[in-house]
Structure 1
Amino acid sequence: MTDIHQESTFDVVIIGAGPVGENVADRAVQGGLSAAIVERELVGGECSYWACMPTKALLRDAAAIRAARALPAAGQAVIGELDPAAVLARRDRFTSNWDDSGQVDWLDQAGITLVRGHGRITGTRTVTVTHPDGATTSVRARHAVVIATGSSAHLPPVPGLADVAPWTSREAAAVKEVPQRLAIIGGGVVGSEMATAFSALGSRVTLVSQTRLLPGVEPFASEHVATALRTAGVSLHLGVDATGARRDDSGTVHLTLSDGTAVEADEVLVATGRTPNTKDLGLDHLGLTPGDWLAVDDALAVLDDTGRPIDGGWLYAAGDVTKRALLTHHGKYQARALGDALAARARGENPDLGTWGRHAVTADESAVTQVIFTDPEVAAVGLSAEAAIAAGRKVRVVDHDLGAVAGAALHADDYRGQARMVIDDNSNTLIGFTAVGPDVSELLHAATVAITGEVPLDRLWHAVPAYPTISEIWLRLLETDGRDR
């Protein structure tokens, strides 16, 4: 049943039908509960239509060509240049041309009720939905309401910027025509990935960032990506701000930078962080500030300003709105734990919230995983060296040149990359891992298992990597650690 217009009651009501909301609902239903999910846009959310899937589709063709050209015989077989129209057409297939009927069908098959419209909390366990036709419906929850509304692009207060109709990640992911000149404000993940994508698609890209590129990862990874972007023709302006913007009568955008540089572009993409989608959810009725991130406890119950669960604990949140880890896969991890926990409570059971417990979200604190699909890729899990030291951990850092590994040398001529282990000296376990280089994303899960499993390094010695693969980097890192101690 979808698009209900009559008052209804369910065990769980979720606001937001992105991957996080879908997973909460699915796990709750699998646990024997009834669930309704409220969505004002497309079922599948940001990840399916404006983030993970379309952006990776924009990046993949160019990555395949780079991989072929890194080998002499395969490179000779690559004839011609990248066809932007074909790239965009493949992107459109992955977004189903922004038609969510397939995901709506999945909700039906999973036994989840979809309520189309904008949901606001109007009372205890009550969500009032304003439908596209203007009608309203009250949907009530017996057990819990879950906020899974995600986040949106943050627009910085640069004079004139709002008036030039800037792109956000949404417009970049859904682009219909590749601009000749693209300016990007922000050097984080979105800015760096889109600089990689659009330079490969033929744009002359200028990227402006207050900080170094990718400030959230190890500096060596940032340097590798910056070098590759410059080689690809991207103009990087790091350590400066955009101080003004205007669009002239010809449509050209003029940016002024804090160092006096003038930048001209056909479009400007703003990639300066995210803001939570909590402005119009009725949170003020609960004593919360609309537009703020939602503080949650270990059970993902939303907390009031005294640090206590709202009204005894019927309101929960998962995904970006909690600001725990703004990554789809971590939001889905939270959602699985939360959906299962809600079902357990409904059966009268106590959720397992101990460290690494069945319903805990411990990985959000100690093993956040991320792949940045730039050229080269960056893969990271756990703590960087800087973050570990700032947290008061006694650590040692082990680095190794990825290009010196036989499997990497076979993988691509002139393979360039680096890997780092961050090791806790007291426990002799891995607490952080970062790699940068072509196709390093496939190294990440081994590091994730080692960190979450708290595997001692002397046990890792017995995890023998196959030869010749890039995974041999694990042996080289362990050997380096042994020599350095």
Structure 2
Amino acid sequence: MTETDPIAYDVVVLGAGPVGENVADRTRAAGLSTAIVESELVGGECSYWACIPSKALLRPVIARADARRVPGVGQAAGGSLDVPAVLAHRDAMVSGWQDDGQVAWLDGIGADLYRGHGRLAGPRRVTVTGPGGEDHVLTARHAVAVCTGSGAQLPDLPGLAEVRPWTSREATSEKYVPERLIVVGGGVVAAEMATAWRALGSRVTVLVRGKGLLTRMEPFAGELVTEALTEAGADVRTGTSVESVRREGDTVVVVTDTGDRLEADEILFATGRTPRTEDIGLDTVGLEPGSWLTVDDTLRVTGSDWLYAVGDVNHRALLTHQGKYQARIAGSVIAARAAQVPLLETDAWGAHAATADHAALPQVVFTDPEAASAGLSLAEAERAGRRVRAVDVDLSSAAGANLYADGYRGRARMVVDLDSETLLGVTFVGPGVGELIHSASVAVAGEVPISRLWHAVPSFPTISEVWLRLLEAYRG
């Protein structure tokens, strides 16, 4: 192993996923020299094993489901999916798991890429162990940004390694369709991958330890998604935990806490995420290896004046779009502090404060039906001590919904702060609502008064007419 002389940069970024790329983009745009370190593929989890491949798998599923609900098209869309074509499209969307295009983008912005494992080696110092065992020592004049993301969390079950379980990575990159698939979990990954693989031909059984799917959203979201999965042929079992798992030849055998014995060809554990901070040298700067990193609203790690944690690693919002939002804030903050510009806008909604991941967090679950939300649920708002009112309407009350799909099924809820008469949260569940949620994000983030929303006229006949139905229901 050889070690090079230290190379000085203004900023060093650990992790070249979408979050790290956005930090590097902002710091380079500000004229700061920036190094970015990546041990796997440039583009990260989202590009190759999460957002992009999962949505590539789900898009044909949802398109076929939508088409089946349109009179005059349903019969033509009634056949099975072309599985090889779906998987080939997925592979194309991830560039065959090659990162040449994203490396070229980094070159284009002038960031220096170091391939290898990066570790902190004391304040403002990073050591990168390259593929050939060589070490590069990088120093940062102004900031080191930890953007290493999160990985799948597996339960502590005896013999689990021998079972070779799927995680979200295998679920989005697998090359064949298992005849039988068990999905363990009740969150977004579990719901989406159960939807995708059931449509691709697997007999899917979903084991949910809690009361239902998507419990962080309004209750009706999980209820409608569960109903649709069941109608599609999936077996969704709530209040069920895995007691043991083993592989007998090519078969996975699962025993549940209810005493049931289940068999499958593969098993997917979608049971949470853990920070990728175990081996990045946190101990050299007084932090706990493997921990989530606590930050302020400028994304700077508590107690530090140079270390930033952006994206999943700070555990504020484990969503790519929120991580990129944080990255834009962090990059601007680092540049301002490097230029010794006072941060005058660190209050709520200021240019240098990441507040949307507290108040206006948007999310879309790409199941059939889609579930989308922005801001707080009713339960979250009540726990926060807000004086609120929930307004519920059937989405089919919007004229555009019934044009979109025959027999359209969906629900909408807005949570109104009764003291300010602004929206704290909005949830839509139904076909096509993913493209509707940004209007809710704007209303929540902008704290738009109900009196003004009344004058934001939805186009007829679109699903967005549901806004009029919600406001009418609120006014009574």
Alignment length (residue pairs): 472
- Separation (CA, whole Å) in 1 of partners of 2:466 and 2:446: 20
5 Å-filtered alignment, 1:143-292, equals 143-211=142-210, 212-249=212-249, 251-292=250-291
Change (3 A) 1:5 1:46: farther
**1:64 corresponds to which residue?**
63
Deviation (angstroms), 1:160: 2.7
Give the letter aligned to residue 360 of structure 1: A
Deviation (angstroms), 1:74: 1.2
Q: Would the aligned equivalents of 1:195 and 1:207 in 2 still touch at CA under 8 Å? A: yes
Query: Please, what TM-score do these two structures have when normalized by structure 1?
Result: 0.96
- Separation (CA, whole Å) in 1 of partners of 2:11 and 2:341: 17
What CA RMSD, in Å, does the superposition of the two structures yield over aligned residues? 1.1
Residues 346-370 of structure 1 deviation map (CA, whole Å, 9 limit, x = unaligned): 1110222111000110101100000
Alignment of 1:425 onto 2:418 = yes
For structure 1, the residue ranges without an aligned partner over 5 or more in a row are 304-308
- Separation (CA, whole Å) in 2 of partners of 1:155 and 1:407: 43
- Separation (CA, whole Å) in 1 of partners of 2:308 and 2:424: 29
Change (3 A) 1:74 1:5: farther
Deviation (angstroms), 1:163: 2.3
**1:334 corresponds to which residue?**
326
- Separation (CA, whole Å) in 1 of partners of 2:267 and 2:4: 41
**2:20 corresponds to which residue?**
21
- Separation (CA, whole Å) in 1 of partners of 2:297 and 2:48: 30
- Separation (CA, whole Å) in 1 of partners of 2:187 and 2:162: 23
Out of 433, 439, 455, the position equivalent to 2:448 is 455
Q: Would the aligned equivalents of 1:159 and 1:243 in 2 still touch at CA under 8 Å? A: no
Residues 1-28 of structure 1 deviation map (CA, whole Å, 9 limit, x = unaligned): xxx9663111000000000000000000
Deviation (angstroms), 1:79: 6.0
**1:476 corresponds to which residue?**
469
SS in 1 for 2:74: helix
SS in 2 for 1:141: strand
Q: Would the aligned equivalents of 1:12 and 1:145 in 2 still touch at CA under 8 Å? A: yes
Out of 371, 376, 379, the position equivalent to 1:383 is 376
5 Å-filtered alignment, 1:72-91, equals 72-78=71-77, 80-91=79-90
Q: Would the aligned equivalents of 2:68 and 2:78 in 1 still touch at CA under 8 Å? A: no
Q: Would the aligned equivalents of 2:397 and 2:469 in 1 still touch at CA under 8 Å? A: no
Aligned residues with identical type, % of pairs: 58
**1:367 corresponds to which residue?**
360
5 Å-filtered alignment, 1:76-115, equals 76-78=75-77, 80-115=79-114
Residues 102-152 of structure 1 deviation map (CA, whole Å, 9 limit, x = unaligned): 100000011111001000000211000000111111011110001000000
Change (3 A) 1:148 1:59: same
SS in 2 for 1:62: helix
Bigger shift: residues 191-200 or 254-263: 254-263
Out of 296, 302, 311, the position equivalent to 1:319 is 311
SS in 2 for 1:55: helix
Residues 342-399 of structure 1 deviation map (CA, whole Å, 9 limit, x = unaligned): 1111111022211100011010110000000011000101000001001111100000
Alignment of 1:442 onto 2:435 = yes
Deviation (angstroms), 1:456: 0.7
For structure 2, the residue ranges without an aligned partner over 5 or more in a row are none
Q: Would the aligned equivalents of 2:123 and 2:285 in 1 still touch at CA under 8 Å? A: no
Residues 79-121 of structure 1 deviation map (CA, whole Å, 9 limit, x = unaligned): 6320111100000011000000110000001111100100000
- Separation (CA, whole Å) in 2 of partners of 1:367 and 1:122: 37
Give the letter aligned to residue 29 of structure 1: R
Bigger shift: residues 231-240 or 47-56: 231-240
Q: Would the aligned equivalents of 2:147 and 2:311 in 1 still touch at CA under 8 Å? A: yes
- Separation (CA, whole Å) in 1 of partners of 2:282 and 2:76: 59
- Separation (CA, whole Å) in 2 of partners of 1:216 and 1:110: 38
- Separation (CA, whole Å) in 2 of partners of 1:480 and 1:414: 22
Alignment of 1:467 onto 2:466 = no
**1:410 corresponds to which residue?**
403
Residues 168-188 of structure 1 deviation map (CA, whole Å, 9 limit, x = unaligned): 000111111110100011010
Give the letter aligned to residue 240 of structure 2: V
Give the letter aligned to residue 191 of structure 1: A
- Separation (CA, whole Å) in 2 of partners of 1:38 and 1:142: 16
Change (3 A) 1:470 1:79: closer
